[in-house]
Amino acid sequence: MPVDLQALYPKLVHLMLDTVFVVDQDDQIVFVSDACQALLGYRAEELIGTPITHYMHPDDLPATRASIVRVMSGQAHFDFRNRYIRKDGGVVHILWAAFWSEEVGARIGVARNVTALTEAEEELRFLAHHDPLTRLANRALFNSRLDTALQAAQQHGGTLALLFVDIDDFKEINDTHGHSAGDRVLRLVAQRLERCAGAHATVARVGGDEFAILLTDLPSHSAVFDKVTQILAVMVEPLDADFGGLAMPTCSIGVACYPADGRDADALLSHADGEMYRVKRRRSQAG
C-alpha cells in the first residue's frame, strides 16, 4: 500500500522537537508548529497573525532585522543566533536555520532552543579568565589588566598601585575545620575585598589564599594607604554565627606603587609580593 506523503508531512512537522515558523514578507507569523509552546510558551493560535518581531529580545532586533534582509534576498542561513522573550518573561536563546521561498512567498525557519548550550559556553568563557571558587579575576586576567593600566599610566603620566593580600594561617583553617570551611572563608574574603576596592578596581585570586588588587587613577599617594586601612578594618569584622564559631583570620598586605616602586609589571609584582611577606614576618615575630 503506497504511503500518502502529502498527508504525512503536516504530522511530521508537528512531531519535530524543533519549532517550524513560516513568516510572510510583512513579518507576520502565518504558521508555527506545535513545538512553539515548549519554546516560547505560546500556543500556535496565539502566535499566528502576530509580528514575529514582537517576541524578539529588543537588544537583538538590529542584528535580527539585518539577518531577515539577507534571508529575503536569497541568502539562506543555518547558524544565526538570537534571543526571544517567552510568554512567562523568560529569555530563550535560539539557533535558526532559515530560507526565503519564492514559491510560498514567505520565509521558513526552524528554531532550536540552545539556551543550555549558550549558558555553558558563556560559563566556559567566564572561567577562562576567572577563579571558579570566588568568581574573581584569575592571574591571567589580572596580568592583562595590569599591562593595560601600565601602558595608560606611562602614556598619560598616571599612577596605579598593586596590593597583595595574603590570609594569615589559612592552612590551619583547612586542617582544623575542613576545606569546605576554608572555601567559605575564601569566598567571604573575595566579597569583602571587592566591596572595599570599588567598581573600578580589579580584584583577583592569584593563589590558594593570595589575592591581588589593582587600583588606578589614584587621587594621591595617601589614598593607597587609606585603602589598605579600610581593607584591614573590614577584614577583621567577625564571621556570622553560621560559621560555627570559626574566627575571621587576619591578613597581610603588601603594596607597590607606580612609578615609585617599579616601572614595569614584573618589578611591581615583585615589590608587592616582597612587602607582603615582610609584613607577614613582622606579624609573626611580634606574635
* Domain span at 68: 5-119
Are 30 and 109 members of one domain?
yes
Q: How many domains does the chain have?
A: 2
Are 104 and 49 members of one domain?
yes
Domain boundary among 101, 119, 137: 119
Whole-number Å distance between alpha carbons of 13 and 30: 15
**Residue closest to 233 by CA, chosen among 215, 243, 248:** 248
List the chain pLDDT tens, one digit each, 287 residues.
565 666 666 777 888 899 999 999 999 999 999 999 999 999 999 999 999 999 999 999 999 999 999 999 999 999 999 999 999 999 999 999 999 999 989 999 999 999 999 999 999 999 999 999 999 999 999 999 999 999 999 998 888 999 999 999 899 999 888 999 999 999 999 999 999 998 889 999 999 999 999 999 787 778 898 999 999 999 989 888 888 778 889 999 999 999 999 999 999 999 999 999 899 888 777 65
pLDDT recorded at residue 2: 64
Domain boundary among 66, 86, 119: 119
Whole-number Å distance between alpha carbons of 10 and 253: 69
Is residue 124 in a domain? no
Cα 163 to the chain's mean position, in Å?
24
Are 66 and 152 members of one domain?
no
Are 162 and 246 members of one domain?
yes
Whether 174 and 282 have beta carbons less than 8 Å apart is answered as no
DSSP character at residue 85: E
Q: CATH number, domain at 259?
A: 3.30.70.270
Are 268 and 181 members of one domain?
yes
Are 224 and 280 members of one domain?
yes
Q: CATH number, domain at 54?
A: 3.30.450.20
pLDDT recorded at residue 282: 83
Q: What number of CA atoms fall less than 13 Å from residue 274's CA on the CB side?
A: 9
pLDDT recorded at residue 15: 84
Are 250 and 153 members of one domain?
yes
Is residue 73 in a domain? yes
Instruction: Look at the alpha carbons of 152, 155, 156, 158 in this order and tell me if their dihedral is positive or negative.
Output: positive
Domain boundary among 98, 119, 140: 119
Percent composition of the chain: helix, strand, coil (DSSP 3-state, to 5): 50, 25, 30
Are 20 and 162 members of one domain?
no
Length of the chain: 287
Which residues are catalytic, by number? 209
Is residue 78 in a domain? yes
Whole-number Å distance between alpha carbons of 254 and 113: 49
Are 101 and 50 members of one domain?
yes
Grid cell in block for residue 185: 572563608
Are 277 and 241 members of one domain?
yes
Are 281 and 146 members of one domain?
yes
Are 192 and 267 members of one domain?
yes
Is residue 224 in a domain? yes
Whole-number Å distance between alpha carbons of 257 and 225: 11
Q: Peptide bond before 58: cis, by omega within 30 degrees of 0?
A: no
Is residue 264 in a domain? yes
